[in-house]
Amino acid sequence: MELYQKTIHDIAAHLKAKKLSSVELTKATLAHLKAVEPKVQSFITVTEETALAQAAEADKKIASGTNVTPLTGIPLGIKDLLCTKGVQTTCASKMLEGFKPPYNATVVERLNAAGAVMVGKTNMDEFAMGSSTETSYYKKTKNPWNLSCVPGGSSGGSASCVSADQAFGSLGSDTGGSIRQPASLCGIVGLKPTYGRVSRYGLIAFASSLDQIGPMTKDVEDCALMMNVISGHDEKDSTSADVAVPDYAVEMKKSIKGLKIGIPKEFFPKELNPEVSEAVKKAIEQLKSLGAEVHEISLPHSPYSLAAYYVLAPSEASSNLARYDGVRYGLRVSGENIVEMYSKTRAAGFGPEVKRRIMLGTYALYSGYYDAYYLKALKVRRLIKQDYDKAFEKVDVIVTPTVPNPAFKFGEKTDNPLTMYLEDIFTISINIAGVPALSLPCGISKTDLPIGLQIIGKPFDEAALLKTAYAYEQSTDWHKRKPSLKES
């Protein structure tokens, strides 16, 4: 096995034992990254100089034995909507081409403090609006399992770079499934934490009440190690929760005997892909065999989550994206007056999907329609949250499919936005409720594409997700399967 194919916890042991240096590891990772990048197109920016400088610093830390963490010297990818000081941060949009933030996002600061190495900024759907990474202004990221298929979105580059071993882990963001959906499609682990568990400071916002940053990794243990570093209260983020953070790497190894698992009937509709349904049901049986108790539950308002989401998220996007006007930073297209300058800048800077969502949101917030759309969506949000609260009175975690289908071909859903939006049907209600959820591999389709299992938890109980996922992962070998990097 090559160095870059190992997991974070495996390679961290080698670094700690001084069997190799972080500089050697980073050089090997960058060489592989560059070799496969023409095929997978995971990165918008590769930060080779920064990576090697950070690796040299990590080696000093390891040599002195001071402040060494499991992430010290480990090459990681960062989604290109997280601010990185002095390094281009574009949100995959023409609007922010060449923008170099003057500060780091809190999660980036925490990774830096832990001694991690940033190999680059990963591709994504423009301003995180999309489910396939096809809306990026720069490139279309490919799925390492089949280069003719999408990697999912919006964190498609973060998922594909981990799946293709271009980095040992990555950070993504999740507004309606943007960590879990690509994790499922690329056969890796992805965790969306509870809203408020991880600081959003320095995250370029799409929908501020829904966005969360989380880890994307090769296995569950690596996910726990990254969560240990990025979690916790941050005074710079007014929505950050001051809740104690357990040691996830310790908690995850506890037994799941007697754990109560809820299976919501609404997440197994007759339209669900039969291969996905079968793989998830087998995974549930496997959890049962490990000592968990399975109970059928109902989340009655979840069918309304898609409609509520596509009022709430575009409304917040309409407000958040108003700042891109060509005045202070980013693209500016000159006009004869300020109104024309605004209009030309936004017309040239935003892609079709971003414009569509801004218009949807502006319409929903318009005074004549506010009560009919936005206010009603807020009421539905409350009902969805109450469904989860009631369910968690009876069960510890909820298990569902992550997405209704394996990865689809490029262009298959771009002509009909609604069919694309339906790819997030099982993930959106979790963001609306603000609870945590994790996706991990649980099968392979007949066409050799990964299938994901979603585990949903109580607020701030990421430990239960990781414990359930780890128990399942250790009893199967789906996480050890590797993509072919071939087209078909």
Which one of 21, 158, 178, 240 is the catalytic residue? 178
Q: Which residues pair with 409 in a beta bridge?
A: 149
Contact in structure between 441 and 188 (CB atoms under 8 Å): yes
Q: Helix, strand or coil for residue 261?
A: strand
Residue 154 among the catalytic residues: yes
Question: And the tokens for 445?
Answer: 């389709």
Question: And the tokens for 144?
Answer: 């390492």
Per-residue b or e along 200-217, where b marks 16 or more CB atoms closer than 10 Å to that residue's CB: bbbbbbbbebbbbbbbbb
Question: And the tokens for 280?
Answer: 């998830």
403: left (phi > 0), else alpha (psi -120 to 50), else beta? beta
H/E stretch holding 172: strand 169-174
Sign for the CA dihedral angle at 424, 238, 458, 156 comes to positive
- Main-chain dihedrals φ then ψ at residue 225, nearest 5 degrees: -65, -40
> Mind giving me the DSSP string for 94-159?
GGGTT---SS--HHHHHHHHTT-EEEEEE--SGGG--SSS-S-SS--PPBTTBTTB---SSSHHHH
Residue 282 among the catalytic residues: no
Which one of 61, 79, 121, 142 is the catalytic residue? 79
C-beta atoms surrounding 50 within 10 Å:
17
Residue 79 among the catalytic residues: yes
- For the chain, the 3-state helix, strand and coil shares in percent, each to the nearest 5, are 45, 15, 40
Query: Residue 56, exposed/middle/buried by CB under 10 A (0-12, 13-18, 19+)?
Result: middle
Q: Which residues pair with 212 in a beta bridge?
A: 174
Of 23, 273, 41, nearest to 159 by C-alpha is 41
Q: Would you name the residues annotated as active-site residues? A: 79, 154, 178
